[in-house]
A and B are shown apart, each in its own frame.
Chain A
Amino acid sequence: MSLIYCRTFIFLFLIGILNISASELPKGPNDKPDLNGVWQVLNTANYNLEAHSASAAMDLVVGPVVPIPHPSILALGAVGAVPAGLSVVEGGIIPYKKEALKKRNENKEDWLQLDPEIKCYLPGVPRATYMPYPFQIFHSEKAVFFAYEYAGAVRNIYLEDQGEAPIDSWMGQSWGYWEGNTFVVEASGFNDQTWFDRSGNFHSDKLQVTERFTLLNNHTMNYQAIIKDEEVFTKPWKINMTLYKRIGKDAQLQQFKCVEFVEELLYGKWRAK
C-alpha cells in the first residue's frame, strides 16, 4: 500500500473517531453532505506552505546583526511581521526539481516585485482556499460555485468532466464529483502566473490540482489538495488543512475588490504632476 493510501486510510479512521458519523452530517442536495456556507482557514499557509518561524517581514535585507525589514515595508512595524506556522505539506517539504527550487528561492528574494497577490491578481488554486479571506460555497443540486472574498475571484465547479480547458486561465477549469462523502474537484487549465503562497512557491502551466473537501461536522471541513506538475516537481505532493465555517453575523462575505487599492502601486508613476 502506498504512503498516500496509508495516510488516507489513517485520516478516514481518525474522522470516524473524532467526528460525527457520516449519517449525522448536515445533509445537502442529493443526500450528500451540505457544503454550503462561508469558510476560512485559520493558518498561515498563505505566508508559506512549508514550516516557518515568525519573522520581522516577508522581505528582509541584511542587517548589522540579524536580517531587518526591507526599507519599503519598514514602516509597517509589527503589522508587516510574519506569524510562525507548521508545514501544511505532507512530508514537510515541497519536492522541487533542482532548477525549480532555485527559481522558488529567487521568487522569495524578490517577493515584493513578483508576488501576484501584491498586484491584486487572481489567486489561482489552491491558494484561493487558504488566503486570509473567507470564501462562500454555493452547493445545490445543479451547481457548485465558489465565491472568494479576495479580488472577487470565482470558480464554477462543473459537475461533469469538460475535457481539456480550451484556454489557460488564472483560476483554471474545475469539475467535481462525489467519492462517498468527499467532494473531489479536478482543476487544470491554469496559466503559469499564480503562486501558492507569499514565499515564492510556484508552478507551471502544466499544473493539475485534485482537491478533496470532506465535511467533518457542522463547523469544520478537511481540505486536501494533491498538486501535480511534472515541469516543476519531482513527484505529486499534498497539502492538508482544516476549513472553519463562519457563523452568525460573520457568515457574510464582504467585498474585497482590491484592484482599486493597487492603482497607486501600478500606475502612480504616471500621475499628472
Chain B
Amino acid sequence: MAGFLYSEPYITAKTWFGDPDLQGTWTNSTLTTLERPSNFKTLIVSEQQAKTAALIASKGNDVYDNYLKEGETPKKGQDVGGYNTAWMDPGTKLLKIENEYRSSIIISPKNGKLPWDAKKRREYFSKDARRKFKRTDHPELRGVGERCVVGFGSSGGPPMMNVLYNNNYQIVQSQGYVLIMAEMIHDSRIIRLEGSHLPQLMDPWMGDSIGRWEGDTLVVETTNFNWQHVHRAALRHYFAISKNAKITELFKRISDTEILYRFRVDDPSLYKSAWVGEMPLRAQSDKIYEYACHEGNYAMANILAGARAEGK
C-alpha cells in the first residue's frame, strides 16, 4: 500500500521512549459511508453537496425519534425500532481529508464499491456450517455484536469502521506495543511491534496484529482472523472478512487533532482485488465510558425465548 503523500508535512511528537505519539482519544464518526452512494459520482464532492448530505441526515433523525405518534401503537408484525437519536452518534458531516469532502471511505477501487467476487463469495459462504439453521435457533447464529463478543460492523477492526454509535477509540503506547481500545464492547487490540504472528491455529477475535514504524507512520498487519467474525454488518455498510484475509493499516498524525487512518484489505477468498479505505480519526475531548454489553444483554435471551415461544 502506498505511503502517505500529503502536501502538509506534520512533525509528530514523540513518546518518552521515542516512538511517534498517537496517544489520545479519537473518533471516526462520519456521515460518509464505506461504499459510495449512487447519488455521488466522484470521491471528492463539493462543499454544497456535503452541506446537502448533512441536512438530509439531520432531517432523518425524526424517523427514529418520532417513530410512533403519541398514543399510537405498533401494527402487528411492525418493527418497533431499537434506538432513538439520544443513543446514536453516526456523525453529522461527510469526512474531510486535506480540506476536501469525500463521498466514500473506499478510495480503491475508484468507483468506491467493494470488489466482490460473486462466485468466490457464494463458494465461501456455501461452506459455512451456520447456513442450515434459522438465525433464531442458537445464540452463536446471532451477530457478534448482539452476542456482545465483539462490536458490530467492524467497529473494533480491523478495519476500524464507523457505525451507529460508540465511534470512539483510545490509543495508548508503551515500548514495543500500541493498544487501540474501541468504546464498543471495550474491544482492545494490543499491537505488538516486534515478533511474528500467532500460529495459524490461534484465531482471536479481531485477528492477530503486528505493527512496525515506517518513519512516523504506524503500519499494522493483521492475519489469523476468526471464522465467526466474517460478517461485518452495520446499518450503513456490509462487508466480509474471511479467515484467510490480510489487512494492512496505516496510522499517521497529520495535524494536532487528526490521525489519517488508511487500510487495505487483501482477501482473495471473497474479492476480485484488494480494496483500500481511508478516513481521519479526529481528536475527541469527551471521556469514553464503560460499555458493558454482555452484562446487560437481555436481548439475546429474549430473541431466543421469543423464537421458542413462537414455535410452540
Contacts and interface: CB of A to CB of B under 8 A. Distances in A.
Interface of A: 28-30, 36, 120-122, 136-143, 145, 147, 152-154, 156, 162, 166-167, 169-171, 193, 252-255, 257, 259-260, 263, 266-267, 270-272
B290 A140 contact: no
Nearest to B21: A142
A163 B235 CA distance: 36
B140 A263 contact: yes
Given A30-B16, A122-B290, A170-B295, 17 more contacts: A36-B175, A121-B292, A136-B179, A138-B173, A138-B177, A140-B16, A140-B23, A142-B24, A143-B23, A145-B179, A153-B186, A154-B181, A166-B289, A169-B289, A169-B290, A260-B147, A271-B304
A147 B174 contact: no
Given A152-B187, A171-B290, A255-B205, A143 B172 contact: yes
Contact residue range for chain B? 35 or more
Nearest to B173: A140
B29 interface: no
A68 to B, nearest CB: 32
B179 A138 contact: yes
B147 A138 contact: no
Contact of A140 (B138, B174, B204): B174
Contacts of B311: 272
Interface in B258-297: 287-290, 292, 294-295
B186 to A, nearest CB: 5
14 contacts: A36-B174, A121-B292, A121-B294, A138-B179, A141-B16, A152-B188, A154-B186, A156-B288, A255-B204, A257-B149, A263-B140, A267-B300, A272-B133, A272-B134
B292 A170 contact: yes
B172 A140 contact: yes
A263 B147 contact: yes
Contacts of B24: 142
A173 B308 CA distance: 40
A257 B170 contact: no
Contacts of B148: 259
A120 to B, nearest CB: 7
